[in-house]
Amino acid sequence: MNKEKKGFLWKEFLTGVLATAIGVGLSFAVNNMVENHKKEQARRHTAMMAIYDIDEIVRQLKEYRQKEESYFKIALYADTHQDELDDISIDSLRIATIYLIEDNSSTIPWTDDSKEKAFNGSMDAWQNLQNTQFYDNVLTCYRLRNELLRMMETELVFRRPFSDESFNDYFLKVNDTDLDYSGSLNKESLARLLRQILQQPTATRFLRTYFLRNASYIGYADKLEILNRENKVLMGITSKDIDDYIKTNVDKTRPATAKKIAGEWETGQDETRTEMFRFNPDNTVTLTSNTPFSMSYYLEEEGITVALECPISYGIDGTWEIVRDSLKMAFDPESCKLLSFEMDLSHFPKSALERQKDSLDIKRQKVKDYVLEYLKSADWSLTDKVALDITGNVMFLTSERTTSWGETETDQQQLVRK
């Protein structure tokens, strides 16, 4: 083999080795880049999950404080006008009473710890985040939230003056004349109960310590807000990053159009209450509702009050249209009709059934007339923000209303396509 051919083969060999080496190197480099990108994405996702959750805790805590403030003002007015409680509106009486009664069944939105558990449950969260200060800040935020919750459960200034048990004892002693058709306390009995509560020293203590509770809410919200601002700087996360996170992981909805929502949709809050909307292409709509209803019946001879379940079904017709991001419905009250009205007498004492037959028939008719009159006098013009989930089979209707005590409440209703 001549020297020239040997040189050519040697160059080919070196070129092949070099190409293989470069290929292997590029492969490792690309794989490393992909792996680093995945780690960075996971790191930012974990950070944004925690940051968004803490932002939500702050927002909900502020809303909770504002709600307590509005309730306190009404309760304070009632306290300073105890001789005039009969002249206060029933809505204000209810709010003042609710504010002073311990409700162990209520859930405080900002106490949801599912995100905290997800953050703490990640064994490599500290390694993935690669920022000790951020990790410590997040743990501190959750510790502050739990600290406030413990204060609310144990500190005397947070203890309501009237317990659930005391309210139940009071309710068991009322008679038929103290209740409205739905079985709730009427205005006179509410005023009497509220006056009884306000005359207790514990009510005076609770109202006077409002500012301590208010200061606690403000103080903890401020601490959380300051820490979370620092969190965003530490992790280089902007408002746009948070908005994108919400769109991708929280707000998974899309705009609704007339074509997309035409058809039948049902709300199924529970087994006893359902609503069916039929949106027709000609912009007419029919609502059929099955609603639980109960009324009280006082048996003087037995000396007891019986609760009678009276499920109601009614229908009403109207029109609908999509205006920008809202669904507008206008129902005709005169088209409202009762489809069914049943009175469940299964728990009614058999000894009194025959004796009260005529009275029950009269009351049944009175309640039917009352319900129909109530439905026809209601405001049936509805405008809600509307959106669909990504499947197009779940509709979200969001409405805001101003309560009689000046507070804004947001309600969301979910409808499922039939």
Does residue 270 have a pLDDT over 70?
A: no
Question: What dihedral angle (degrees, nearest 10) is formed by the CA atoms of 84, 87, 90, 95?
Answer: -30
Structure confidence by residue, pLDDT tens digits, 156-212: 999 999 888 888 788 777 777 787 766 678 889 899 999 999 999 999 999 999 999
Residue (of 328, 312, 311) closest to 320 by Cα position:
328
Residue (of 257, 237, 206) closest to 101 by Cα position:
206
pLDDT at 212: 95
Q: Which of 25-29, 39-43, 77-81, 378-382 has the highest mean pLDDT?
A: 77-81
Q: How many CB atoms lie within 10 A of CB 146?
A: 13
Q: Which of 95-104, 113-122, 163-172, 285-294 has the lowest mean pLDDT?
A: 113-122
Place of tokens 């990053």: 241
Does residue 31 have a pLDDT over 80?
A: no
The beta strands (E) that lie in 136-283 are given as 253-255, 263-270, 273-279
Contact 152, 158 (CB under 8 A): yes
Contact 101, 246 (CB under 8 A): no
Distance (Å, whole) CA 93 – CA 70: 13
Structure confidence by residue, pLDDT tens digits, 120-155: 766 555 566 778 899 899 999 999 999 999 999 899
Residue (of 399, 395, 387) closest to 414 by Cα position:
395
Structure confidence by residue, pLDDT tens digits, 208-246: 999 999 999 999 999 999 999 999 999 999 989 888 888
Does residue 106 have a pLDDT over 70?
A: no
Structural domains of the chain sorted by starting position, each given as residue range(s) with its CATH number in brackets? 37-251 (no CATH), 254-417 (2.40.128)
3-state SS assignment for residue 52 = helix
- The whole-chain average pLDDT of the chain stands at 83
